[in-house]
């Protein structure tokens, strides 16, 4: 087959899948044929300089916020009011090891440590509270990172044969856990569709949201790697969309471009309660600590534009939802009746 014909066929196939997936999902993500998710309108935009390339937002000590974008060689730091106060690393030198090449994920802890998954450098970088680089260790194709209270670093990677790898503070691998699901005969594609985004709670439990699983899935592990909960939306209302996604994975041709369709676009964890917030484009779903669905919403910016969250930060009385290139927006938590000002 000529290259142009091959490209046209691939384009048509993906276009038809996307149309059918969106059509099916619009019905499947409703709890009934007659129920429409309430609209959730953002109060305001925060960190207004942040927009294109947005990857992640984390909160550290003293109400400091850390924002990672793919276009910057450093993490931007803001105070509790949203005012920019610096960057990590503080001083950038040409080709310096502390500089970020292409960051895709970050996390911060209460001690002020910061960890970044630098996919451009095939590395994970840990910074001290003063912004200095503590350690940088090699991880091929890192996707997501989380800091544990023990000082260890949890990492997901597109090239790993386990779901989660845990490294000590010096960058030495100490354990790995979680078996890959068998979703494709192509090893490279199977690794990709098993990739997950990490979250954690105050008990150092890890949550992994599988972005490409046909059935939207989140698993919860204790710090040692024992599975303690699985949230899987494999119910009847989600089944048609999942079947369409599985067919698309099966049709991926050997040697072709890896481009499965993302199902879960964002995850946020209430670190105190263990409640889970998931986004599916503009659809935001809230689950309790046992994985029971509580409520669903459609998210919009203050001027009414659809917000398809790719990063979710859950705070006691508000949510910070972000999308590239729209930026980061503040929402009242709809599950809190007594909301405080920020």
Q: Is residue 60 part of a domain?
A: yes
Q: What is d(CA 303, CA 253) in angstroms, rounded to the nearest whole number?
A: 42
Q: Is residue 149 part of a domain?
A: yes
Q: Is residue 95 part of a domain?
A: yes
Asked whether residue 294 carries a pLDDT value surpassing 90, the answer given is: yes
Q: Is residue 6 part of a domain?
A: no
3-state secondary structure of 245: helix
pTM of the model: 0.87
Q: What proportion of the chain, given as a percentage, has pLDDT over 90?
A: 70
CA angle 56, 61, 67 (to 5 degrees): 20
Question: Is 131 in contact with 184 (CB distance < 8 Å)?
Answer: no
**What does the mean pLDDT of the chain come to?**
87
Asked whether residue 109 carries a pLDDT value surpassing 80, the answer given is: yes
Report strand pairing: 293-300 vs 311-314: unpaired
Tens of pLDDT, residues 166-195? 999 999 999 999 999 998 888 888 888 899
Residue 130 pLDDT class (50, 70, 90 cuts): very high
206 DSSP β-pair partners: 200, 221
| pLDDT computed for residue 302 by the predictor | 98
CB within 8 Å of 63: residues ≥ 6 apart: 79, 80
Q: Is residue 50 part of a domain?
A: yes
| pLDDT computed for residue 34 by the predictor | 42
Q: Which of 35-39, 220-224, 238-242 has the lowest mean pLDDT?
A: 238-242
Q: What is d(CA 307, CA 332) in angstroms, rounded to the nearest whole number?
A: 15
Query: Mean pLDDT across the stretch 241-261?
Result: 72
Largest CA distance in the chain: 63
Residue 23 pLDDT class (50, 70, 90 cuts): very low
Asked whether residue 1 carries a pLDDT value surpassing 50, the answer given is: no
Closest CA to 204 of 296, 114, 274, 124: 274
Q: Output helix, strand, coil percentages for the chain, rounded to the nearest 5.
A: 15, 35, 45
- CATH number at 199 reads 2.120.10.30
Which domain covers residue 68, as residue numbers?
Answer: 38-183+191-227+264-332
């Amino acid at each position: 087959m000529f290259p142009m014909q091959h490209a046209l066929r691939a384009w048509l196939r993906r276009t038809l899948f996307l149309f059918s997936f969106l059509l099916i999902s619009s019905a499947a993500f409703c709890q009934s044929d007659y129920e429409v998710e309430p609209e959730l309108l953002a109060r305001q935009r925060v960190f207004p300089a942040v927009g294109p390339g947005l990857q992640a937002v984390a909160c550290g000590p003293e109400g400091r916020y850390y924002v990672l974008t793919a276009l910057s060689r450093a993490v931007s730091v803001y105070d509790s009011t949203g005012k920019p106060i610096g960057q990590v690393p503080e001083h950038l030198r040409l080709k310096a090891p502390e500089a970020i090449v292409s960051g895709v994920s970050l996390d911060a802890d209460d001690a002020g440590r910061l960890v970044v998954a630098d996919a451009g450098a095939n590395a994970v970088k840990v910074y001290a509270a003063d912004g200095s680089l503590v350690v940088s260790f090699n991880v091929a194709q890192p996707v997501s990172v989380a800091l544990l209270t023990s000082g260890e670093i949890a990492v997901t990677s597109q090239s790993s044969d386990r779901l989660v790898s845990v490294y000590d503070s010096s960058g030495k691998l100490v354990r790995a856990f979680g078996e890959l699901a068998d979703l494709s005969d192509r090893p490279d594609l199977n690794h990709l569709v098993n990739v997950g985004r990490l979250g954690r709670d105050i008990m150092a439990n890890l949550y992994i949201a599988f972005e490409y699983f046909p059935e939207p899935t989140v698993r919860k592990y204790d710090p040692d790697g024992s599975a303690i909960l699985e949230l899987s939306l494999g119910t009847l209302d989600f089944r048609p969309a999942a079947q369409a996604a599985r067919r698309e994975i099966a049709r991926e041709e050997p040697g072709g471009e890896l481009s499965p369709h993302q199902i879960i676009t964002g995850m946020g964890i209430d670190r105190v309660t263990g409640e889970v917030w998931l986004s599916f484009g503009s659809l935001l779903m809230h689950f309790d600590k046992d994985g029971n669905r509580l409520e669903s919403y459609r998210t919009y910016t203050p001027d009414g534009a659809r917000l398809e969250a790719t990063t979710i930060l859950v705070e006691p009385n508000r949510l910070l939802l972000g999308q590239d290139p729209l930026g980061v927006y503040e929402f009242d938590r709809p599950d809190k009746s007594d909301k405080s000002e920020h």
